[in-house]
Every structure is written in C-alpha cells, then in structure tokens.
C-alpha cells in the first residue's frame, strides 16, 4: 500500500516513497534543529491566536500547547531524536505533536505554512544573536579601552605603507580599533529594525482566508512591525544577507587586528609578547611559540566572507516567492554566528593579556626619521613654503642617512648647510614626545586629544 511518504505531512497526493537518496539530499534537520526553541515559541503563540480567534477550540489549543512544551523538554533532554525523513525541525515537531495528542495536533498548522514559519524562527533566532554579537563587540572594545588607559603615554611608530611614518601613542592606536568596532556595532544595531518584523500570517505566499490576527501575534512575540506583503515575506532573506555582510565586515576588522598581532609578535617587530595561554607550539621545532589564535581569526574571516557570498549567490535570480534554494541559508547563518562570536571572544582575551614591549616600541618610534615632518613644520613656522621645506628636509634626511645618524644628532652647522633658517631651538622640535604631543588637532595623537576621547569611551562603556 502506501510507503514512507505517507508518514510525511504532505504525503497525501504521493503514490511512491521518497527515494532514500532524496531524503538525505533534501533534509535540513541536521542543522535547523538549532531553531527548535524558536519554532516551539512561535507555534505556541500561533496556537494561542487560533484559539482567541475561534479558529480552534480552547481545549484543543490547550492540549497542543501542553504537548509542545513537553516536546521542548524532550529535545532539551536529548530524548527526542529528529528523523531526517521528516526533513526539517518544523515537520519533526509537528509529527511528534500528532504522535502525542492525536489528530487534533494537525490543527496547529492551520493558517500557517512552513514558508512563513521558517522565516519566523530565523527572525526570532537572529534578533537574539545580533544582541549577543553586539555584546561581544562591547566586550572587545572594553578590553581595548582598558589597555589604552594603561598605555596613554607609551609611544610607537605609526606606519603608512608599513614604513615608519610618524610617532603615535599606543592608546591612540588601540582606540583606532575601538572606533572601527563601534561602526560595526552600529551596523548590527541598525539592522535590528529590519530583522525585527513579524512574518507569521503570510502563509505560503498570499495570506489566508481564515480570520487570523497578525498584529496580536506580532505583539505577543515582541515584534514592533508586521511584514506588509506576504510574497515578499516568504522570499525575503535580505535580513540574513545584511547580517552576513555586517559580520563579514567585522571579521575583516578582526583579521586586520589579528594580522597586526602576528606581525608585532615576530622577532623582527618584537612589539608584543603574546600570552602563552593563547599560543601553541610546534610538533617538531621545540623553540616555537606560534600566534595560532590570531592566525585562525584571520583565517576564519574567509568563512565569514564565503558565507556572505554563498547566500548572495543562492538568492541571486530567484523568482518570487519561496523556492527550496532558500533552505541553504541556514548553514551560512549559523556558521557565521558561531565564528563571529568566538572570534570576538578570543580577540578580547588576547588583548586583555598581551604584553606590550613599550621600551622596544619607543626605541623604534625614533628610528626611520619619524621626526622629519616635525622639522618641515618647524620651517613652515619660520615662513618657508611647505613644499620648499619638504624638499630641504628630504635632502637633510639623505645627508643623515649617508652619515648613518638620526636628524637630532646632526650638529647645527651641518643642518644649516641644507636648511639655513634652522636655529638652536630645532633640537627641542626633534624630540619624540614633542612630535607626538604637537599633533593636537581634533582626532590627533597629542595627549590631550587622546585622553579626551579615552574618557568618552570609558564613560560609554561603563555600563556595557
């Protein structure tokens, strides 16, 4: 008679069993089982609405809700193993419900389709995860700000093209990342208004003739808005794309920070000593201490970018409305959520414990003629046009390079040969701290500027 497909909620019109290979190929429960809590929460509210609207009787609804709560417990305790033949977590829960309460369980899916149910679960899930990501960003920002306070007066060379450019405070450096992360945080927060929209009630693609109350459902589930077009609702995945894009940008930022820690911990730089607890050794070279955690953050950025591209390609060219391709959204989403949250945590841990070799940094800050711009600005103050000053100082640098001496070690007479307007007061200008604290324009690296911004951050993160 009828085979396994009868077991399936949609088995009615089928006369052949689903091919075993097709079952394996089409199932998604191995991954969407993660949505079980959201699925049950959504189903309970849906059921309450059906009762309120008189679409199902309250004794029926009570039974369904009771059983749904039991199923939640069963899943939590590992007593309920989803069956891949039932494709996804949604049909697994429904089948278990009917198994528990009998045919009345079949009333739960009234005025609902898996198409709106899946998006509901994803939206409920994602809004919580966005909040968790934002917390993770806050935590990392806090770690950076604590270290910035500690290193307000530590100096290091600032780089452009990875060549010594101008000296900066270490606090300024670390706060640059705090600012970067703040834009990431804002992007996630902003995305919430598009995630937090209630899709339930869209049905398969066109709404339902039954007298449902979408506003009540939305309110009960804490959604400030209801989606206004059923077709758009079931085919929209841009709320996930947006999350994946925001996550990819954040991961790219983390990978830049990670790369810096890798480079800075090499003996060639020797700016930091990474904590042993965040490094690993080599199975062959006994002397090795490798910055694997930073390398993996850098490496896992590939996944985050890949997940974004993967879903973009899935959605590209899909006609309205729901298409099964959309089932492919989940792995990308879950993987990025996990990767991003973990990366934020390990980066925070690493910055909390990293040892900054400030003496080495300061020594290097003086190398590479990082005070050359200060000399040019000094000449500008004496009335020399900046372009001429630039040329003179360039010549003086070439001369000093030849002598293998820094600018500040050149005797005044020698400097005067190239820059005649230089006076004794030039030596003060050429001092490292003078250069750093001279850059007091808004957003500059001078102590007053950095300290002011640091205070703003300390205040903002106080209650984070």
Write out the residues near ligand ARG by the rule CB under 6 A: 28, 32, 87-88, 114-115, 118, 322, 324, 326-327
Q: How far is the CB of 328 from ligand ARG (least distance, A)?
A: 8
Cβ distance 189 to 197 under 8 Å?
A: no
Q: How far is the CB of 60 from ligand ARG (least distance, A)?
A: 25
Q: Which residues are within 8 A (CB) of 100 and not within 5 positions of it... i.e. 6 or more apart?
A: 67, 70, 71
**Based on CB atoms, which residue is closest to ligand ARG, 322 or 457?**
322
DSSP letter assigned to residue 165: E
Return d(Cα 272, Cα 290) in angstroms, integer.
Answer: 13
Q: How far is the CB of 76 from ligand ARG (least distance, A)?
A: 22
Q: How far is the CB of 148 from ligand ARG (least distance, A)?
A: 45
Q: How far is the CB of 87 from ligand ARG (least distance, A)?
A: 6
Q: How far is the CB of 127 from ligand ARG (least distance, A)?
A: 18
**Based on CB atoms, which residue is closest to ligand ARG, 326 or 410?**
326
Q: How far is the CB of 121 from ligand ARG (least distance, A)?
A: 9
**Based on CB atoms, which residue is closest to ligand ARG, 69 or 318?**
318
| Rg of the Cα atoms in the chain | 31
Examine the residue annotation and report whether 161 is marked as an active-site residue of this protein. yes
Q: Write out the two tokens for 310.
A: 């993967």
Return d(Cα 340, Cα 332) in angstroms, integer.
Answer: 12
**Based on CB atoms, which residue is closest to ligand ARG, 195 or 419?**
195
Q: For the chain, how are helix, strand and coil distributed in percent, rounded to 5?
A: 65, 5, 30
Q: Write out the two tokens for 368.
A: 């590479």
Block residue for tokens 């630039």: 390
DSSP letter assigned to residue 17: P
Return d(Cα 50, Cα 212) in angstroms, integer.
Answer: 7
Q: Which residues are within 8 A (CB) of 290 and not within 5 positions of it... i.e. 6 or more apart?
A: 279, 280, 281, 282
Q: How far is the CB of 264 from ligand ARG (least distance, A)?
A: 44
Q: Write out the two tokens for 269.
A: 């730089």
Question: Which of 30, 151, 161, 310 is an active site residue?
Answer: 161
Examine the residue annotation and report whether 441 is marked as an active-site residue of this protein. no
Cβ distance 218 to 234 under 8 Å?
A: no
**Based on CB atoms, which residue is closest to ligand ARG, 29 or 354?**
29
Q: Is 14 helix (H, G, I), strand (E, B) or coil?
A: coil
Question: Which of 58, 266, 270, 282 is an active site residue?
Answer: 282
Report long-range pairs for 423-429 (Cβ below 8 Å, ≥24 apart). 426/375, 426/378, 429/371, 429/374, 429/375, 429/378
Q: Write out the two tokens for 426.
A: 């030039």
Give CA separation, 368 vs 225, 323, 398, in Å.
Answer: 58, 60, 12
**Based on CB atoms, which residue is closest to ligand ARG, 315 or 375?**
315
Block residue for tokens 């075993």: 20
Return d(Cα 135, Cα 143) in angstroms, integer.
Answer: 12
**Based on CB atoms, which residue is closest to ligand ARG, 16 or 287?**
16
Block residue for tokens 């890798």: 262
b/e for 129-143, b at 16 or more Cβ within 10 A? bbeebbebbbbbbbb
Return d(Cα 390, Cα 388) in angstroms, integer.
Answer: 5
Looking at beta carbons, which residue is closest to ligand ARG? 327
**Based on CB atoms, which residue is closest to ligand ARG, 31 or 252?**
31
List residues with catalytic annotation. 161, 282
């Amino acid at each position: 008679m009828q085979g396994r497909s009868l077991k399936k909620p949609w088995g009615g019109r089928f006369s052949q069993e689903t091919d075993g290979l097709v079952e394996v190929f089409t199932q998604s429960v191995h991954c969407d089982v993660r949505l079980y809590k959201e699925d049950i929460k959504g189903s309970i509210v849906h059921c309450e609405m059906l009762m309120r609207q008189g679409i199902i009787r309250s004794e029926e609804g009570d039974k369904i809700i009771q059983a749904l709560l039991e199923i939640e417990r069963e899943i939590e305790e590992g007593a309920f193993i989803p069956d891949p033949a039932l494709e996804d977590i949604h049909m697994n829960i429904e089948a278990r419900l009917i198994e528990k309460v009998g045919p009345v369980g079949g009333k739960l899916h009234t005025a609902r389709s898996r198409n709106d149910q899946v998006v509901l679960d994803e939206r409920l899930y994602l809004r919580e995860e966005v909040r968790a990501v934002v917390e993770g960003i806050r935590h990392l920002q806090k770690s950076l700000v604590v270290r910035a306070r500690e290193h307000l007066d530590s100096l290091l060379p600032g780089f452009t093209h990875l060549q010594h450019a101008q000296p900066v405070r270490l606090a300024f450096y670390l706060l640059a990342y705090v600012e970067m992360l703040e834009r990431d945080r804002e992007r996630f927060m902003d995305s919430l208004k598009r995630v937090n929209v209630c899709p339930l009630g869209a049905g398969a693609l066109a709404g339902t003739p039954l007298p449902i109350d979408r506003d009540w459902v939305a309110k009960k589930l804490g959604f400030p808005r209801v989606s206004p077009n059923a077709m758009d609702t079931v085919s929209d995945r841009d709320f996930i794309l947006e999350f994946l894009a925001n996550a990819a940008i954040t991961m790219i930022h983390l990978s830049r920070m990670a790369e810096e820690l890798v480079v800075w911990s090499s003996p060639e730089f020797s700016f930091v000593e990474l904590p042993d607890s965040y490094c690993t050794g080599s199975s062959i070279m006994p002397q090795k201490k490798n910055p694997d955690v930073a390398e993996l953050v850098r490496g896992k950025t590939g996944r985050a970018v890949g997940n974004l591209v993967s879903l973009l390609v899935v959605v590209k060219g899909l006609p309205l409305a729901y298409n099964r391709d959309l089932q492919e959204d989940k792995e990308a989403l879950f993987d990025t959520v996990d990767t991003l949250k973990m990366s934020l945590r390990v980066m925070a841990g690493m910055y909390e414990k990293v040892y900054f070799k400030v003496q080495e940094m300061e020594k290097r800050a003086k190398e590479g003629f990082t005070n050359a711009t200060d000399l040019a600005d000094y000449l500008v103050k004496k009335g020399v046009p900046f372009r001429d000053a630039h040329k003179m100082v360039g010549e003086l640098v070439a001369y000093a390079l030849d002598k293998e001496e820094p600018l500040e070690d050149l005797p005044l007479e020698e400097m005067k040969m190239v820059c005649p307007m230089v006076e004794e007061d030039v030596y003060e200008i050429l001092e490292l701290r003078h250069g750093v604290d001279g850059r007091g324009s808004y957003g500059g690296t001078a102590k007053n500027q950095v300290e002011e911004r640091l205070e703003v951050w300390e205040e903002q993160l106080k209650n984070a």
